[in-house]
Amino acid sequence: MKKIKLAITGCLGRMGQQLIKSSKNDKDFKIVALTENRIISKKISGIDLELNTIDAFKKANVIVDFTIPRCTLQVLKIASKLGKRVVIGTTGFSNREESLIKKFSKKIPILKAGNMSLGVNLLMYLTEITSKSLGNNFLTKVYEVHHKYKKDHPSGTALMLGRGIAEGKNKNFYNLIGKKYLNKKTFPYGEKINFNSIRKGNVIGEHEVSFSSGKEIVTLNHESFDRALYSEGALSASKWLMKKKPGLYSMRDLLDFK
């Protein structure tokens, strides 16, 4: 099997560095490009750091992007011109930006996930089933914890889980978004989905979805201990995407949850 030529954006970030490490340990990949959003005179494993340009990405089969929304859209614009596949782990997109990603997916294969972990995607699946089963008699909330350097809140995973609640109720997610709290010790359930984000220490990721009828509570949760979960998931997504036609895919498609 030919090695998959990989471009990694945001290569100096936490996930960028983890992706480099994981791809070096996977014989199916060869890193051909490492990019950042500013000019940096540096080499990593003999590869010069570049800006996001056509020249940087032209040799790649797949671009893996864990950056910020503005950068991701820039990468997608270039990738669509070159016909390159893109795996997106970036979070914090607006509704308008989500629509732009859908437009790009008509030209190129894109796999986008708020979280690349098998366990979290199983949690998303179980959240949908629970929400559908419990119906409108249960109020909901989503709790998440990440390291103190994480800027966006709620996390992409928390929003993904909120979307799972909405899909279970067969309702529009954006109409169900409730209050967004930051660093609160306690926060209420709501008819809409309330979120509480904790930023502290070096926590990799904790997520919890709760349903309450006032008489009983159902809780689903997941905790991450190793960032390699996400980089290895992104590499699995890259392999899977190699055989796909243009379209917008998710980890759920890869894992074939029904």
14-49 pLDDT, tens digit per residue, is 899 999 999 999 999 999 999 998 888 889 988 999
Q: Which domain holds residue 88?
A: 4-112+227-255
162-221 pLDDT, tens digit per residue, is 999 999 999 999 999 999 999 999 999 999 999 999 999 999 899 999 999 999 999 999
| Domains contained in the chain, number | 2
State the SS3 of the chain.
CCCEEEEECCCCCHHHHHHHHHHHCCCCEEEEEEECCCCCCCEECCEEEECCCHHHHCCCCEEEECCCHHHHHHHHHHHHHHCCEEEECCCCCCHHHHHHHHHHCCCCEEEECCCCCHHHHHHHHHHHHHHHHHHHHCEEEEEEEECCCCCCCCCHHHHHHHHHHHHHCCCCHHHHEEEEEECCCCCCCECCEEEEEEECCCCCEEEEEEEECCCCEEEEEEEECCCHHHHHHHHHHHHHHCCCCCEEECHHHHHCCC
- Residues annotated as catalytic are 146, 150
Say yes or no: 106 and 20 in one domain: yes
Say yes or no: 108 and 8 in one domain: yes
* pLDDT, position 250: 92
Q: Residue 126 above 70 pLDDT?
A: yes
Say yes or no: 157 and 80 in one domain: no
pTM above 0.75, yes or no: yes
Say yes or no: 107 and 172 in one domain: no
Question: What CATH number should be reported for the domain holding residue 238?
Answer: 3.40.50.720
